[in-house]
């Protein structure tokens, strides 16, 4: 059985509040994950969800701004942040020491990465191709990997590869008997890719502690209306659906899927039904209103959380411009652990007309 | 229901200059009008008109049975295209980015490439799409894919450098009875300096034949695609010092026109290969050993190459520019060889 | 709507009988494909099924024999002929002119290939790597392609590729409005391969006239017990199961799936449940007994059919040894339609020290 | 539940000679005993012991969580292996035949090979399995796969020629932090002439270092895998005419030990590359251009190659023998070069 979700190993600090926002346990009673009623979440989880939600909201605005002023690709600002992805990710056991859960945040929203400990500045660096983190300038986009924090990014193809990779990671957890699970966000059409089926089949067969969230987003011309529930049934794995549900219900549903996963009952596939465009932050606001009404968080703490999130994002976008671009040498980051990357001689001195090799034998005696 | 051709497939009929991308669109349109066996498959190529809008307007004109929006399953629809080709159709498959041809690697190398040899008949099929770096696409939207297929007997690989060749070579590829991988460099798609008025007739350019892009005598540069332009820029700079470079634009990489390379090498005695793709295992190696096999005595210096660095394509602009071969790289290598 | 199944365009002749065994229409009334009762099949279909069944039976013995005497690889004799595959294939519209149905016979049994017009000698040539047909010496095994007869063989990987290929062929039939369908035999574990899912998804999405038979054969350690019915449901395609059913029922079920396919109702997945080993020819014998009992075929005609089949197989195995092996040049069959294969110079004359190229310019004026 | 090692992984401990296959089994067994992070994945490798019985007895000893029978989904389980490697395990993936690595081409080239560069950390993983022709396996059970991966920065490729190297190189590959493609030639698996007594200690052979298989002075042959033996046979024949050939066994193809090749070439002035894989786009090209780059002045003749024919691998014995490079081919080419 798993540690209660939300029990992160380390947490970041809410700057304006001077205390940790992750590293929390649920203090409220465990609600039925399938129940219709909105069971309160513990105060610290609630604070986290509020903070992360505000961060996402301000980040969205900030990215649009930066794109407008040419500091980011407009292509990269063309995303739909879905606050529910944050809630889903936060229901996992996020850690900072390489021993928590794993998450592939998908490409649609930074929410899950934020929930797993990424900072707004890191998100922006990646979008802006800045060279101050190991990979932002090399692969960038919405996606990067930080094994320590459990973020498994991939800005590559939508072929279901991350379901395979996270299935394998989950297999490792299971093999070692660890209380860890993996969460992967995929988009709808990815289910058309054979690679996704192979990953899902494997995960189902070995009962890997894996949760696959299918973000049922913008229909593309090439998406058939796959019946995800039938697909899940064909792999004998559990299925859930998230629609315009309250944060509380989403959180508990995922927490419960996580519990099933780590206790060996196998993967769950969750379909995330798209929100009406105008609703994208309504669930956040409803949640905030509820926690204040319930007295879990006072209005003044809520205001502090909001302004702390705003400050963090402002700080990040302000600092982004001052950060150095990558150095060209970063293009030569090693592709092998033990090799110095080779620069073509045209970037260096030309070879001498008859390049003399070292005379010493490179061949071992054998 | 036949509709008017949209503007981007009507440049030549209107007597206007066409971009590289428009030349591709024109070739597809004309071949579909000419031969009802020709049909298109790909992701979002129908209503959406394709990621680069190559097939905008095609659905209206040719209908959904000849402009097929596929699921995201490059292996599956390439396999299906092979089945349709077996039955006498002539599929043209679009990869949204050619980087995504990798899930189709299995079916292309094992099933499609071996068909004729297996006695299963030819598979006339074109797999086309955008390739190449310089567009800040990062490692998964910037690749060149020729070396994934160059080692597979039974495939042809075409990589044009200008609108005229693109149109003529794509028409040849569609009419060819063999499977063809057709690479279109994104950096050429809308490049203004590439725009040109195309011949008004139904011309084709034969596969397997290189083209002399520039006549010269001091050094042969063998190249293709966007690098033809980099090499021409380098040649212009070298010309200021009286160095006259001959540039061979391969156009088709497989089969390789080694005869054209050898003839030029005989004249110049020096050979430089320029490719945008990464270095190790690039096409330069095969050209080098073929020239060893048939033209060793004419070599007045080593066969050298200018290529990208052995690394994934970086995402940031600064890094990508450093990663890619530059005009200056070509100039440096050319000078070195000429002075050798 | 399709032409009645069994209406082949051309037929081969039963040698001992001096008349065609394919090119037949069902003369009996169409039975309910799902009915439990055994509705008679037309006399000529019955004769065909008897002939093909006997051929398979004798071929199985012959292959074991030849393998025992070292003329064939023992590995290739290690197959399980399932007479029902012959019935399934014969329920399609087999032709000889490139306008009939298509069939990928799979690797387990020559039955479907025989039903689609292959001769026992051709089967044996392929197994024996003889060079007297275009591909036998080059790819051989259980598998070859003859587009004219509609045989689409493939001795390659079990990755579901033939489901893709036949889906595409079926798409071509549909596009041209032809009365044709495609039949593909896959083995159970193939359903684990992403490639199979991609082919099936595409076929389902475009309602290609395709029938996929899953031969649920030997369990391999790597086969999970995929629930094929659930998988079919997830693609929204029809599902059928063939167990120890009588030939009549199998034939009508497939004929009906074919009718659905060509009338645009989409693919069908059929699971072929394995027979008990000792039963492998019992269904054939039952069928023979029934047609004789019913008077559809007299005992003497049955005997003639049996001995004609025996003669054909005897003839084939007798002739096999006398056939020439392939010539080494056949290894160089072209891989491109317009290219002469290049022989490495070490197999020919060595190059002269400084090989002179042709002086004529290969480059066009441009 | 620890069981006795079955005989085929116990040859060395018993002081007996081991075949190539047994050397592979021993390496796997010893690495699994040494390091509990090492685990195996593949089709029918457990109860069945693998198609070639390399892992017979492993399931009993190491249990089903370290000897995992996978579905037939090479892409999927290679991707999963990558995930497990991210989490600190050291997967060794068996392809039943290496031909079936092609469905894993996408994940190997795009995800796994780029991981370190992307800042996602190393992916220590070995993909191993049987390769090569001569066993009448036909086109889909006989391929060499090195050139599918040679062009991808971020992968290593190992291809041993004898039991001693096989064991030492496989151990190194498993301990290496980078992803390694490890090719085992079926023609060596049980070859009696290959059998040898292996060092009793826990030895490793470093990746990226070639080996001189034969010292000579008139000609350098660069080769690997089964072709080392063909080349040795050719050398024996040439020796009868006083021609002394030096044979470099590459052992690791990527990274390529160009230093070893250059050093030998400096001594002999002549270079012949022998590979079993098909010709166009084979590794010979890369070796040729590297020697142009760094050793052109020492070349006293063209760099030549002996290879298979550009075609799928034929199924019939006669055709396959014609298709594959023979001892006689090597002798012919060597004589030509020596006389050049
Ligand atoms: C293997 C692969 N093929 C093609 C693409 C190009 N591509 C990127 S997004 C996309 C559409 C994705 O549709 P869907 O999964 O429904 O995502 P959404 O519409 O929700 O963004 C395609 C085809 C890709 N990234 N990877
Ligand atoms: C892509 C691929 N991977 C691996 C193999 C090797 N292989 C051949 S048959 C087989 C087992 C097939 O099992 P199943 O589909 O259940 O067939 P059956 O047991 O009924 O013969 C395997 C793994 C292959 N042919 N293709
Ligand atoms: Mg969509
Ligand atoms: Mg099985």
D119: left (phi over 0), alpha (psi -120 to 50) or beta: left
**Per-residue pLDDT averaged across D255-271, rounded?**
97
- Beta carbons of A344 and B307 less than 8 Å apart: yes
CB atoms within 10 A of CB C72: 21
- Beta carbons of B210 and C166 less than 8 Å apart: no
B225: left (phi over 0), alpha (psi -120 to 50) or beta: left
Look at residue A4 in the predicted model and tell me its pLDDT: 38
Ligand 1 neighbours, Cβ below 6 Å, are: A 157-159, 187-190, 217-218, 220, 222-223; B 43, 72, 74, 96, 100, 103
C80-to-C242, C276, D186 alpha-carbon distances in Å: 17, 11, 27
CA of D22 to the centre of ligand 4 (A): 28
Look at residue C354 in the predicted model and tell me its pLDDT: 52
CA of A187 to the centre of ligand 1 (A): 8
| Encoded tokens for B185 | 């460099």
CB atoms within 10 A of CB A233: 18
Query: In tens digits, what is the pLDDT along chain B, a chain of 340 residues?
Result: 455 789 999 999 999 999 999 999 999 999 999 999 999 999 999 999 999 999 999 999 999 999 999 999 999 999 999 999 999 999 999 999 999 999 999 999 999 999 999 999 999 999 999 999 999 999 999 999 999 999 999 999 999 999 999 999 999 999 999 999 999 999 999 999 999 999 999 999 999 999 999 999 999 999 999 999 999 999 999 999 999 999 999 999 999 999 999 999 999 999 999 999 999 999 999 999 999 999 999 999 999 999 999 999 999 999 999 999 999 999 999 999 999 9
Tell me the pTM: 0.94
Relative orientation angle of helices C161-175 and C194-205, to the nearest 10 degrees = 20
- Bond before A127 cis per omega within 30 degrees: no
- The C-alpha atoms of residue B169 and residue B251 are separated, in whole angstroms, by 8
Decide: A133 and A148 in contact? Cβ < 8 Å: no
Decide: D75 and A198 in contact? Cβ < 8 Å: yes
Reply yes or no on whether the pLDDT at A35 is more than 50. no
Q: How far apart are the first and last CA of chain C?
A: 53
Reply yes or no on whether the pLDDT at C20 is more than 60. no
The owner of tokens 């809410």 is A14
Catalytic residue selected from D8, D141, D185, D229: D141
Measure in Å the smallest separation between the Cα of B3 and chain C Cα atoms: 21
Q: Which residue of C has its CA nearest to B297?
A: C354
Q: Cα torsion at C299, C304, C310, C314 (round to 10°)?
A: 160
Reply yes or no on whether the pLDDT at A23 is more than 60. no
For ligand 1, mutation pick of A195, A216, A220, A228 (most atoms within 8 Å of CB)? A220
Residue A193 DSSP code: S
DSSP D199-210: PSS-----TT--
Measure in Å the smallest separation between the Cα of C335 and chain B Cα atoms: 4
- The C-alpha atoms of residue A81 and residue A60 are separated, in whole angstroms, by 7
Atom 19 of ligand 1: nearest residue by CA position: A218
Residue D198 DSSP code: P
* CB distance C189 to ligand 2 below 6 Å: yes
Q: Which distant-in-sequence residues (6+ apart) come within 8 Å of C278 by Cβ?
A: none
Strand pairing report for C210-215 and C268-272: parallel
3-state SS class at D258: helix
Residue B3 DSSP code: P
Q: Please give, one letter per residue, the 3-state secondary structure of D274-326.
A: EEEEECCCCHHHHHHHHHHHHHHHHCCCCCEEEEECCCCCCCCHHHHHHHCCC
pLDDT averaged over every residue in chain A:
83
Measure in Å the smallest separation between the Cα of D93 and chain A Cα atoms: 12
Please report which residue ranges of chain B form alpha helices under DSSP H. 20-34, 58-62, 74-86, 105-106, 146-149, 163-175, 186-189, 226-239, 258-268, 283-295, 317-323, 327-339
**Per-residue pLDDT averaged across D184-206, rounded?**
97
Residues of D in contact with A336 (CB under 8 A): 116, 154, 156, 178, 255
CA of C158 to the centre of ligand 2 (A): 5
| Encoded tokens for C39 | 């509705």
**Per-residue pLDDT averaged across D218-246, rounded?**
98
Look at residue D313 in the predicted model and tell me its pLDDT: 97
Give the residue from B32, B72, B87, B228 with the most C CB atoms within 10 Å of its CB, the best one to mutate.
B87
Model confidence band, residue C141 (pLDDT cutoffs 50, 70, 90): confident
Look at residue C254 in the predicted model and tell me its pLDDT: 98
CB atoms within 10 A of CB B14: 10
The residue ranking higher by pLDDT, D303 or A110, is D303
The residue ranking higher by pLDDT, C341 or B305, is B305
Reply yes or no on whether the pLDDT at C349 is more than 90. no
Residues of C in contact with A223 (CB under 8 A): none
Give the residue from D99, D270, D314 with the most C CB atoms within 10 Å of its CB, the best one to mutate.
D314
Domain spans of chain A?
9-339
CA angle B157, B162, B164 (to 5 degrees): 95
pLDDT in tens, C240-277: 999 999 999 999 999 999 999 999 999 999 999 988 76
The residue ranking higher by pLDDT, B162 or C17, is B162
Residues of B in contact with C172 (CB under 8 A): 83-84, 87-89
The owner of tokens 């009992």 is C293
- The C-alpha atoms of residue C63 and residue C46 are separated, in whole angstroms, by 25
Look at residue A26 in the predicted model and tell me its pLDDT: 30
Closest Cβ opposite residue A351 in set D66, D76, D293: D293
- The C-alpha atoms of residue B274 and residue B261 are separated, in whole angstroms, by 13
ipTM of this complex prediction, to 2 decimal places? 0.94
pLDDT in tens, D142-159: 999 999 999 999 999 999
Reply yes or no on whether the pLDDT at D299 is more than 60. yes
pLDDT in tens, A287-336: 999 999 999 999 999 999 999 999 999 999 999 989 888 988 889 999 99
Closest Cβ opposite residue B114 in set D139, D153, D310: D139
Q: For residue D145, which of D126, D135, D158, D134 has the smallest C-alpha distance?
A: D158
pLDDT averaged over every residue in chain D:
97
Measure in Å the smallest separation between the Cα of D114 and chain A Cα atoms: 7
Look at residue A78 in the predicted model and tell me its pLDDT: 64
pLDDT in tens, C200-216: 999 999 999 999 999 88
Q: For residue B114, which of C154, D150, C162 has the smallest C-alpha distance?
A: C154
Q: For residue D24, which of D185, D200, D135, D253 has the smallest C-alpha distance?
A: D185
Q: For residue D115, which of B278, A333, A157 has the smallest C-alpha distance?
A: A333
**Per-residue pLDDT averaged across C187-210, rounded?**
95
- Beta carbons of C339 and B210 less than 8 Å apart: no
Model confidence band, residue C353 (pLDDT cutoffs 50, 70, 90): low
Decide: C141 and B86 in contact? Cβ < 8 Å: no
Look at residue D100 in the predicted model and tell me its pLDDT: 98
Give the residue from D111, D113, D119 with the most A CB atoms within 10 Å of its CB, the best one to mutate.
D119
Q: Which distant-in-sequence residues (6+ apart) come within 8 Å of D240 by Cβ?
A: none
* Polymer length of chain C: 366
Look at residue A364 in the predicted model and tell me its pLDDT: 40
Q: Which residue of D has its CA nearest to A335?
A: D154
Closest Cβ opposite residue D289 in set B106, B117, B285: B285
- Percent of chain C at pLDDT > 70 equals 83
- Percent of chain C at pLDDT > 90 equals 58
- Beta carbons of A198 and C205 less than 8 Å apart: no
B145-to-A103, B111, B126, B131, D327 alpha-carbon distances in Å: 31, 18, 14, 7, 35
3-state SS class at D17: strand
DSSP A336-366: STT-PPPPPGGGSPPPPSSPPPPSS--SB--
For ligand 2, mutation pick of C189, C192, C219 (most atoms within 8 Å of CB)? C189
3-state SS class at B144: coil
DSSP C16-74: TTTEESSS----SPPPPTT-SS-PPPPHHHHHHHHHHHHHHHHHHHHHHHHHHTTSS-H
Strand pairing report for B252-254 and B304-308: unpaired
Residue C282 DSSP code: H
- Percent of chain D at pLDDT > 90 equals 99
- Beta carbons of C233 and A236 less than 8 Å apart: no
**Per-residue pLDDT averaged across D187-213, rounded?**
97
B52-to-B45, B88, B190, C8, C86 alpha-carbon distances in Å: 9, 29, 10, 47, 49
- The C-alpha atoms of residue D137 and residue C140 are separated, in whole angstroms, by 10
CA of A161 to the centre of ligand 1 (A): 13
The residue ranking higher by pLDDT, A37 or D240, is D240
Q: For residue C290, which of C33, C46, C21, C25 has the smallest C-alpha distance?
A: C46
Phi, psi for residue D40 in degrees, rounded to 5 = -115, 145
- Beta carbons of D310 and C341 less than 8 Å apart: yes
- Beta carbons of D102 and B117 less than 8 Å apart: no
Min mean pLDDT across A174-188, C351-365, D308-322 is at C351-365
Look at residue B160 in the predicted model and tell me its pLDDT: 98
Look at residue C107 in the predicted model and tell me its pLDDT: 83
- The C-alpha atoms of residue B279 and residue B307 are separated, in whole angstroms, by 5
A252-to-A39, A111, B86 alpha-carbon distances in Å: 9, 18, 53
> Is there a catalytic annotation at residue D193?
no
CA of B48 to the centre of ligand 1 (A): 13
Look at residue A115 in the predicted model and tell me its pLDDT: 96
CATH number of A9-339: 3.40.50.970
3-state SS class at D29: helix
């Amino acid at each position: 059985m798993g540690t209660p979700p939300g029990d992160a190993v380390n947490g970041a600090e809410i700057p304006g509040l001077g205390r940790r926002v992750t590293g929390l346990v649920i203090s409220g009673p465990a609600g039925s994950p399938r129940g219709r009623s909105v069971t309160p979440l513990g105060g610290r989880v609630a604070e986290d969800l509020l903070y992360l939600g505000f961060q996402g909201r301000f980040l969205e605005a900030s990215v649009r701004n930066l794109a407008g002023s040419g500091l980011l690709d407009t292509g990269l600002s063309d995303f739909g942040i879905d606050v529910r992805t944050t809630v889903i990710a936060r229901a996992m056991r996020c850690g900072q020491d390489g021993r928590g859960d794993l998450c592939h945040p998908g490409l649609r929203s930074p929410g899950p990465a934020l929930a797993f400990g990424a900072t707004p500045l890191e998100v922006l660096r990646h979008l802006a191709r800045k060279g101050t983190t190991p990979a932002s300038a090399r692969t960038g986009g919405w996606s990067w990997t930080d094994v320590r924090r459990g973020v498994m990014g991939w800005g590559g193809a939508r072929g279901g590869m991350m379901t395979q990779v996270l299935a394998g990671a989950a297999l490792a957890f299971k093999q070692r008997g660890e209380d860890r699970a993996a969460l992967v966000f995929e988009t709808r059409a990815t289910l058309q890719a054979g690679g996704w089926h192979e990953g899902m089949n494997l995960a189902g067969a070995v009962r890997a502690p894996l949760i696959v969230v299918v973000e049922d987003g913008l229909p593309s011309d090439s998406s058939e209306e796959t019946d995800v529930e039938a697909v899940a049934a064909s792999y004998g794995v559990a299925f859930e659906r998230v629609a315009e549900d309250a944060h509380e219900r989403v959180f508990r549903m995922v927490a419960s899927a996580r519990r099933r996963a780590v206790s060996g009952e196998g993967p769950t596939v969750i379909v995330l039904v798209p929100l009406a465009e105008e609703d994208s932050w309504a669930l956040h606001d409803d949640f905030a209103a509820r926690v204040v009404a319930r007295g879990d968080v006072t209005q003044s703490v809520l205001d502090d959380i909001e302004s702390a999130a705003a400050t963090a994002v402002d700080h990040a976008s302000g600092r982004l411009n001052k950060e150095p671009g990558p150095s060209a040498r970063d293009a030569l980051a090693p592709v092998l652990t033990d090799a110095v990357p080779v620069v073509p001689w045209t970037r260096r001195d030309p070879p001498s007309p008859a390049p003399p090799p070292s005379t010493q034998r490179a061949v071992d005696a054998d | 229901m036949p509709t008017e051709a949209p503007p981007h497939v009507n440049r030549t009929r209107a007597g206007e200059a066409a971009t590289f991308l428009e030349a591709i669109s024109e070739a597809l349109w004309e071949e579909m009008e000419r031969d009802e066996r020709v049909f298109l498959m790909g992701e979002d190529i129908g209503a959406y008109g394709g990621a680069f809008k190559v097939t905008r307007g095609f659905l209206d004109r040719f209908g959904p049975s000849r402009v097929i929006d596929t699921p995201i399953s490059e292996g599956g629809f390439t396999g299906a295209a092979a089945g349709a080709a077996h039955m006498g159709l002539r599929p043209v498959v679009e990869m949204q980015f050619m980087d995504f041809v990798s899930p189709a690697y299995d079916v292309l190398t094992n099933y499609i490439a071996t068909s004729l040899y297996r006695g299963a008949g030819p598979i006339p099929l074109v797999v086309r799409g955008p390739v190449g770096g310089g567009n800040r696409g990062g490692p998964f939207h910037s690749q060149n894919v020729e070396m994934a297929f160059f080692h597979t007997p039974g495939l042809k690989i075409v990589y044009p450098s200008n609108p005229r060749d693109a149109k003529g070579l794509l028409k040849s590829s569609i009419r060819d009875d063999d499977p063809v991988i057709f690479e279109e460099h994104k950096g050429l798609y809308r490049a203004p300096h590439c725009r040109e008025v195309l011949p008004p007739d139904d011309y084709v350019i034969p596969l397997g034949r290189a083209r002399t892009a520039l006549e010269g005598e001091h050094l042969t540069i063998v190249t293709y695609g966007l690098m033809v332009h980099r090499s021409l820029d380098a040649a212009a700079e070298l010309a200021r010092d009286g160095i006259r470079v001959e540039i061979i634009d391969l156009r088709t990489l497989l089969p390789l026109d080694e005869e054209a390379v050898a003839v030029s090498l005989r004249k110049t005695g020096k050979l430089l290969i320029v490719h945008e793709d990464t270095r190790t295992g690039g096409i330069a190696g095969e050209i080098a050993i073929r020239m060893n096999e048939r033209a060793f005595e004419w070599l007045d210096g080593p066969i050298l190459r200018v290529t990208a660095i052995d690394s994934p394509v970086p995402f940031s602009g600064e890094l990508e520019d450093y990663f890619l071969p530059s005009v200056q790289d070509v100039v440096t290598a050319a000078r070195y060889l000429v002075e050798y």
